[in-house]
Structure 1
Amino acid sequence: MNLVFMLEEPSMKHFLAGFMSRIVPEHFTVTYLVHEGKQDLEKSIPRKIRGWQVPNSCFIVIRDKDGEDPIILKNRLRALCAERPETLVRIPVHHLESWILGDMQALATAFNRPNLAAMSGNRKFRNPDLLANASEELSRLVPGYQKVGGARTVAPHIDFERNLSRSFNLLISDLKRLAAAGAA
């Protein structure tokens, strides 16, 4: 099976690539189609889905919410995927940084800042999907944090069971389901 991720930006690719081998079997191939922002992603979805020639492929579209109504956004993205209705559409509620803040222990380990681990008990980090300013919070907690490098650094430390982001857990659940179906 080939998993084809259609992504809004490079940081998401580095984040996913950092832990994908822990989810999908070795015989899977994983392709990351990285775009230059949400408009580029949305414009290319129908064309890339229509032109994709690799058999046994499953598309997974991941796009940040960016202040939009998530239901309207998801429906719009699904409409763009009409030629492949089995395409998974996942919205990190707000930004990728919400998924990273969902596992404060991973953040603490990745950046050698042990004090961050205890912060997962703080009220505002118990449900990172509610953080409208996840990027700013992450920059405050890890001064000098860079999106691509940070995603690459944190990803290997992400614990799927420990992560508190509901939207991240939905993606992981979908990927595990696909992995189980493809392994059978």
Structure 2
Amino acid sequence: MRRELVVLLEERSAKVMLESFLPRVLDEKIEFRLIAFEGKQDLEKRMVMRMKGYMNEYARFLVMRDQDSDPDCINLKARLIEKCHASGRGKASLVRLACRELETFYLADLKAVETALGLKGLSNKQHVAKFRNPDYLISPSHELKVLSRQKYEKIGSSREIGRYLDIDNARSDSFRNLVQGIKRLERELLAL
């Protein structure tokens, strides 16, 4: 029996972040596989087929997607949960949304960004109102580009930032929910 967490993602930047983040979070007995799609439409179009055809019957699935400009995250999440059930893997899956964008997680941990990008003084800005709870920012990726003086690059920076993200960071509700979801699936896998 293979204890495996399969993460379905809308894009490559989330994949590279999780490649460096998950080994710090998951028990070493659990393998993980990250499947990045070509955007949110591709994810939603193909996720049912990928989950349905997945060979490991013990696998647990995590679907992670950005909210982006979708005004109703409750309906968005419900739609993704419905797709999980349509795959026949509903009870073995979990859906998590990044409020607005993946970069929200980074803005919630400016110390990780500072360390990963080799910038000085960024963590001091964590107390500025908009960075205390970045889930409410309209364009976190733009904010991060400006804050990093254009040093932030979606793929390479995401990989590096994932190495330093504080697992217990509570500034972003969506990040905290992601970590709690990963831990929940980990417990299920370890109980098998």
Scaled by the length of structure 1, the TM-score of the pair is 0.95
- Distance of aligned partners of 1:111 and 1:163 in 2 relative to their CA distance in 1, 3 Å threshold: farther
Give the partner amino acid of 1:76.
R
CA deviation vs aligned residue, 1:68-101 (integer Å, no higher than 9, x gap): 1100100111111112222100000000000111
Give the partner amino acid of 1:79.
E
Equivalent residue in structure 2 for 1:84, among 84, 89, 107: 89
Equivalent-residue separation in structure 2 for 1:37 and 1:162 (angstroms): 27
Q: Is the 8 A contact 1:23 1:179 kept in 2?
A: no
Equivalent residue in structure 1 for 2:134, among 128, 139, 148: 128
**What is the Cα deviation at residue 114 of structure 1?**
2.4
**What is the Cα deviation at residue 179 of structure 1?**
2.2
**What is the Cα deviation at residue 163 of structure 1?**
4.7
Where in structure 1 are there 5+ consecutive unaligned residues?
Answer: none
Cα RMSD after superposing both structures: 1.2
**What is the Cα deviation at residue 117 of structure 1?**
0.4
Give the partner amino acid of 2:157.
G
Equivalent-residue separation in structure 2 for 1:52 and 1:157 (angstroms): 31
CA deviation vs aligned residue, 1:93-145 (integer Å, no higher than 9, x gap): 00000011110111111112221001111100011111111010010011132
Where in structure 2 are there 5+ consecutive unaligned residues?
Answer: none
Question: Does residue 157 of structure 1 match 2:160?
Answer: no
Q: Is the 8 A contact 1:103 1:163 kept in 2?
A: no
Equivalent residue number for residue 51 of structure 2: 49
Task: Map 1:9-158 onto structure 2 (within 5 A).
Answer: 9-68=11-70, 69-82=72-85, 83-86=88-91, 87-142=93-148, 143-158=150-165
Matched-pair identity in %: 37
Equivalent-residue separation in structure 2 for 1:57 and 1:36 (angstroms): 23
Q: Structure 1 segments of 4 or more deviating over 2 A?
A: 177-184
Scaled by the length of structure 2, the TM-score of the pair is 0.92
Q: Is the 8 A contact 2:67 2:98 kept in 1?
A: yes
